[in-house]
Amino acid sequence: MINMKDFFRNSNLLDCLALRQLSHIKGNWELIWDHENEEYESEENSYAEEVNQLIEELGLVEPPEKYHVNEDGLAEYVIANLNWEINKVNGRWVGAEYALILEQGGFHDIDETNLILAAAGRIKAAMDRNQNHFDDMEQSHQKMLADVIAIILYHRKSP
């Protein structure tokens, strides 16, 4: 199993890339690493507790080899149920911003199962390429993982 806590440990970029976009929900988007407890420090109006729980949850799942299958399922839901005119061309979804496709598809993703598996798969893919910490990821993959994390947290805060 992947040590997700090490992957996200004391990140300088996770809060900026994943949580700032959710600041309209919780204004305190910055994370502080608690070295003694080895987790993000819980603060009022912060995502720290949710991030810690998500990191724990990611550590419990078996990352899929092909995480795009989980993301494709969300896109296919958007096509079938929201009638979006998107399609996959040469392995990429076109017709709308990819993160928006995943966000909208995520409304039907019970317990964010596909999003969790996609995130775990993206982390495994990064580690397979010796990118062993969130801050060390290739930039476009790092941004997409941050978006997936933000989408998970957003859906968990949505009524």
pLDDT at 122: 98
DSSP codes, 91-120: TEEESS-HHHHHHHHGGGSGGGHHHHHHHH
pLDDT tens by residue, 102-116: 999 999 999 999 999
pLDDT of residue 159: 52
The pTM for the full model equals: 0.96
Positions in the chain short of pLDDT 50: none
pLDDT, position 114: 98
